[in-house]
Amino acid sequence: MKFPFTSLLLIFLQESGIGAKPCENKTLIFGAEEGSVLLQVNHSFPIRDISWFVGEKMIASTYLNSSMHIPDNATFANRLSSTGDGSLFIHSLRKKDRGLYTAYIRHKDKDICTQEYELRVGVNLSHTDIHINHSVTIKESCDVSLSCVVYATDVKFTWRNVEMDQTVSVNGDLHVYDAHQGETYICTAGNPIRNVSKAVTPWDLCEQGNNIIVWQIFYSKSLAKQ
């Protein structure tokens, strides 16, 4: 299939630096790796066709209630499709798909405007991705240091005290002084795609620490008797 005339015109506009007026403000889109995302065209005027670019590279032309033209493009292969209104689907998202996408929208009267989309691709977090590391200090009281960890980028953390129903930390670290029985804390880790949570009871960690200390004392006394 040959390039539509509109697409050839837009390639010329791209290379010459001549810009079209924006249809709307830039839209921020979040997508999960291996998932799909829709670049929705919002319009209140009759559209003839739409040409899609990533940077200065054309990736597709869409037509209302018609077929979609995709130039030879190893980056997206068979991962693009369109809707009846000319919006663009990107399937099986990869990290390298992130970036600025521009839709050149041609009206029925042949005027052209642009719609920009900033696509960010992140990990679809699962409960197995969140880990809580801890260290226990037992003296007159039991103090517990907790660290919430997720091995992914763009993740934010919060700690909440369940009994108080109160946020007690807005980063991955939490220090619990003089832990008491019945206290439960929940770490929530999230990115723009999904939030996941895990609960921990510091008193249980103190009990485990006490058991270790008792065992160490018993073992030391046993060695002394030998």
Are 62 and 151 within one domain? Answer: no
Residue 139: DSSP 8-state: S
pLDDT at 61 over 70: yes
Are 115 and 12 within one domain? Answer: yes
Are 38 and 67 within one domain? Answer: yes
Are 29 and 42 within one domain? Answer: yes
Are 98 and 186 within one domain? Answer: no
Examine residue 10 and state whether it is found in any structural domain, yes or no.
yes
Examine residue 192 and state whether it is found in any structural domain, yes or no.
yes
pLDDT for 21-42, tens place per residue? 888 899 999 999 999 999 999 8
Nearest to 177 by CA among 138, 133, 139, 144: 144
Examine residue 96 and state whether it is found in any structural domain, yes or no.
yes
Report the distance separating Cα 201 and Cα 5, nearest Å.
Answer: 66
- Asked if 63 and 106 touch (Cβ cutoff 8 Å), the reply is no
pLDDT for 199-222, tens place per residue? 999 999 888 855 443 333 333 333
CATH number, domain containing residue 54: 2.60.40.10
pLDDT for 102-150, tens place per residue? 999 988 777 888 999 999 999 899 999 999 999 998 888 889 999 999 9
Provide the token pair at 98. 């992130």
Q: Residue 157 belongs to what domain range? A: 127-204
Q: 43: pLDDT confidence band, cut at 50, 70 and 90?
A: confident
As a whole-number percent, the residues of the chain with pLDDT over 70 amount to 81
Quick one: pLDDT at residue 13? 53
CA 132 to centroid of chain Cα atoms: 21
- Name beta bridge partners: 27: 117
Are 9 and 97 within one domain? Answer: yes
Q: How many domains does the chain have?
A: 2
Examine residue 177 and state whether it is found in any structural domain, yes or no.
yes
Examine residue 211 and state whether it is found in any structural domain, yes or no.
no
Say which residues have a Cβ less than 8 Å from residue 8's Cβ, sequence separation at least 6: none
